[in-house]
Structure 1
Amino acid sequence: MDTTKPQKKSLQVPPKRPHLTRLSSMTSTKDDVSDGGTDVVVVPHRYMLKRSQSFSSGFAASLGKARKEVGPMEIEDEAAVLPTSPESPGSPEMFGVTPEESAPATPITPITPLDGLPSADTFAFAFDIDGVLVRGGQAIPEAIEAMKMLNGENKYGVKVPYIFLTNGGGKTEAERCLDLSRQLDISISPAQFICGHSPMRELTEAYGTVLVVGGEGEKCRQVAEGYGFKDVITPGDIIKHDSATTPFRKLTAEELRCSKSGRDLSKVKIEAVFVFADSRDWAGDCQIMLDLAMSKGGYLGTLSETFDEGPPIFFSHSDMVWSAAHANVRLGMGALRRMLETLFRDVTKGKELDTIAFGKPQIPTFEFATRLLRQWRKDEHEIDAPPETVYFIGDTPESDIRGTNEFNKHSENDWFSVLVKTGVWQEGTEPAYKPRATVDNVLEAVRFGLDREFGEKGTKVPTKNIIEPLCLADAGEVPSEAIPTAALR
């Protein structure tokens, strides 16, 4: 428990069922895996020298473009909306998108905040996604009810601001919002969403030609180009250029069609490697990244004598395993990272490969979440001040709880960690990083936060004249059933 700030007692709910363990490549030890552990590597200053002029403005512009492109998407197609792996600030107008364009193109009627209700101005929520709201591409049952509660269907009659913060990726933020909107029956904006590779857009000015790894088909190339990377190469491009690169991996007809060619890649300097999403071809991707790590200055086909001349390699997160539809946890990006580092050490006879990780529990990810949440509260809820408390709901002690607790030591407001039992944490074991509250599911987490604010802490329930907005000119008398039930309490 964080001892730097006064804390209320944690809520402990009796255990009900066992869950599985999630390891993080930042915290696993030699006993956890066959090879020794590596710690988080902070992005060296030299990698950040040529940053873009403004992260937030570039972020807004890119998301605005993405939202316009995704707007007409038909999400009735299951394959287009359900994520295959675990996988941004201001109003729609700020992105150059009208309110009509910003709404997800979905055949369902999404949950929306009840009109006229006041917004909680002293606290907010932030959610991990996999294992908290969604599992195996389907909403966890309590998640939909939790969203309803945040949008006003609660005994206090208030709406509560919230954002989403996930290590997952592989799609644009706008597409991920469409996925989550469908799964939770709710309208979600990219202005309240951060995924693992979102911070990578800060490096678009630092690197010219980059290798982007992971994800389905050409998706991650498209995301990277949308961020502003000017020359994006994929493993498919390299295999198409030289099929001997991966002796046992042959491109499909579709991959051959989509992969780019037309230049001699052996003469192209690859300045950085970005793993945007989980690899669909571990052997091939690892071989290509290893070739570059051992190369002379990022040129394919070369071999450094010192093995310290390769391009920097960035991972969007370091979760060793993640919670999917399978009964047991599945290997994640952190496992790929560990495998690459181990192979490099073995092949070079002892040289260490330093890779860089984004996502939770990295402090910059939480700093960006703070900026995004403040902007969302201002634009959507007309609250131009940071919340006093942010309840972060996660299922992973090694990333969600660790990151929240560490950030709380430095943040001006109180970040309150809540661990749920619907993910991969093994109930009955001591969490590697202790949450300030442990509950059964996300609905209980939301209920706990509301009751703590308006009950235990004695926060005053905000009020607002909700009748006047309903009495439109020339609309006649407003029937009582038109007034939100919560407002009549």
Structure 2
Amino acid sequence: MTTQFARPAGGSDRPRRLSAAEATRDSINMGPTVVVPPKHLMAPSDASEIATALEAARNQLDAPAPPGTPPTPPETTVTDKYAFAFDIDGVLIRGGRPIPEAVEAMKMLNGQNEHGIKVPYIFLTNGGGKSEAERCVQLSKQMEMEISPGQFICGHTPMREMAEKYGTVLVVGGEGEKCRHVAEGYGFRDVVTPGDIIKDNQDTTPFRKLTADEYKNSRARNFAEVKIEAIFVFADSRDWASDQQIILDLLMSKGGYLGTRSENFDEGPPVYFSHNDVVWSAGHDLTRIGMGALRVSLEAMFKAVTGKDLKTTAFGKPQIGTFQFATRLLQQWRKESHGIDAPPETVYFVGDTPESDIRGTNEYNEHADNSWYSILVQTGVYQKGTKPRFEPKATVDTVLDAVKHGIEREYKKQLRASMVQTGILTECFDL
């Protein structure tokens, strides 16, 4: 089961406008919402139309309206031909602060460009441990612009579609109880954390003791009687040693019961990671290790202890599920905004990590019904002057250059198509 928003009274799907200074997870979850910097609360900004339309489209994906005559698409200044998708860390934000060119890039997409058009955009981030609503509030404050939760696809967003498959699940990573709240918001019925397990038996992790707050917030259970059906790593672990110990205990267990051991080590629950980035760009001058490194470490330890290979599953980029979800969202947006039941013809994905952003975009483009065009920026993981393992369609300095490149490319495509239509050119070829 997934969380479904209540529709506003009167049948309108128009999202509420909520101040970024006052927005909370609970207030956003009350229904479709656009988070607005206080300075734009009384008068919508240039970003309002895109944020509102994508929030409405996302709401339709989560809770489809009853069958009936589809409404007439409203008049809009937003193009339906193409869209942008952005990674966040290393592209828009670095060290918790906006990259200066990112602010200008968003203004350009929201209509401040020589062609006077607006271009739809969404955010695809492998960063986890927070709900889409919380990421929305954070980015709205950082960029000082209107943004809706519907524009966000996190690494663990596609995991919501697995909520009905499993009963009791272990959720790992993140700060405090945030990952538990995210999982419960996705509809997972019984969510366990490492803190719950340590609270039940403090000898589980000899070198980690729960703080007073952790002990208070962890839930009392008798895990001798609890069958854990799956393990989800929603965000980066804050304590690799204890989290890996607990995961290994479950992987070697008999049917997901802690304190038991399988004879062949093949009866434990499956393990899912929200992404597979080995490194990521933070505030430090050098890249930092991420969840992909934890995955590699866990697989190596399982092999060392059991002599067997461990098969795990990762979501996020470059896995196909994230791009499929993004395509469904953009198709729903285009259907509602323009009456066309197909995704935009081209999606420009802007990222800083060749191994996830560029690889995922290129691989998905090979069999997607529309075109996904990869652009690599040099403000994050990728370092200028090195040869990326996975080649992008274009490499630029900053996200502003990426936006300029995409808009100019589309303008040239439309110009050539117009010239073919009027007979000035005899053939329209791709750029």
Aligned-partner residue type, residue 220 of structure 1 = C
Give how far 1:375 is off.
1.9
Q: What is the match of residue 31 of structure 2?
A: 97
Change (3 A) 1:63 1:451: farther
Give how far 1:61 is off.
3.8
* CA distance, structure 2, for counterparts of residue 185 and residue 435 of structure 1: 30
* CA distance, structure 1, for counterparts of residue 18 and residue 187 of structure 2: 20
The sequence identity of aligned pairs, in percent, is 63
Q: What is the match of residue 163 of structure 1?
A: 122
Partner of 1:103: helix, strand, or coil? strand
Aligned-partner residue type, residue 109 of structure 2 = L
Pick from 358, 362, 370 the counterpart of residue 413 of structure 1.
Answer: 370
Q: What is the match of residue 352 of structure 1?
A: 309
Change (3 A) 1:114 1:280: closer
Contact 2:36–2:145 under 8 Å retained in 1: no
Runs (5+) with no aligned partner, structure 2: 9-14, 50-74, 419-431
* CA distance, structure 2, for counterparts of residue 386 and residue 316 of structure 1: 25
Tell me, yes or no, if structure 1 residue 177 matches structure 2 residue 111. no
Q: What is the match of residue 79 of structure 2?
A: 120
Give how far 1:380 is off.
5.3
Give how far 1:168 is off.
1.0
* CA distance, structure 1, for counterparts of residue 20 and residue 344 of structure 2: 35
Contact 2:172–2:194 under 8 Å retained in 1: yes
Count of aligned pairs:
382
Change (3 A) 1:143 1:62: farther
Contact 1:63–1:190 under 8 Å retained in 2: no
Q: What is the match of residue 331 of structure 1?
A: 289
Give how far 1:62 is off.
9.3
Pick from 179, 199, 206 the counterpart of residue 165 of structure 2.
Answer: 206
Change (3 A) 1:176 1:373: same
Aligned-partner residue type, residue 282 of structure 1 = W
Q: What is the match of residue 322 of structure 2?
A: 365
Aligned-partner residue type, residue 412 of structure 1 = D
Change (3 A) 1:111 1:459: farther
Give how far 1:325 is off.
0.1
Name the TM-score, length of structure 1 as normaliser: 0.73
Change (3 A) 1:382 1:118: farther
Change (3 A) 1:316 1:221: same
Show the 5 A alignment for 1:16-165. Answer: 58=2, 61=5, 74=21, 97=31, 102-104=33-35, 106-109=37-40, 111-113=45-47, 118-165=77-124
Tell me, yes or no, if structure 1 residue 269 matches structure 2 residue 200. no
Pick from 430, 444, 461 the counterpart of residue 387 of structure 2.
Answer: 430
Aligned-partner residue type, residue 125 of structure 1 = F
Q: What is the match of residue 359 of structure 2?
A: 402
Contact 1:70–1:175 under 8 Å retained in 2: no
* CA distance, structure 2, for counterparts of residue 117 and residue 209 of structure 1: 45
Structure 1 moving runs of 4+ over 6 Å: 114-117
* CA distance, structure 2, for counterparts of residue 415 and residue 312 of structure 1: 31
Pick from 149, 173, 177 the counterpart of residue 218 of structure 1.
Answer: 177
Change (3 A) 1:60 1:184: farther
* CA distance, structure 2, for counterparts of residue 385 and residue 126 of structure 1: 17
Tell me, yes or no, if structure 1 residue 190 matches structure 2 residue 124. no
Aligned-partner residue type, residue 363 of structure 1 = I
Q: What is the match of residue 390 of structure 1?
A: 347
Partner of 2:250: helix, strand, or coil? helix
* CA distance, structure 1, for counterparts of residue 144 and residue 7 of structure 2: 22
> Deviations 1:355-391 (Å, cap 9, x if unpaired)?
1100111112111110111223344566654211111
Change (3 A) 1:182 1:63: farther
* CA distance, structure 2, for counterparts of residue 108 and residue 278 of structure 1: 34
Runs (5+) with no aligned partner, structure 1: 1-51, 53-57, 82-91, 462-489
Partner of 1:458: helix, strand, or coil? helix
Name the TM-score, length of structure 2 as normaliser: 0.83
Change (3 A) 1:377 1:190: farther
Contact 1:119–1:381 under 8 Å retained in 2: no
Change (3 A) 1:381 1:112: farther
Structure of greater relative contact order (alpha carbons < 8 Å, 6+ residues apart): 1
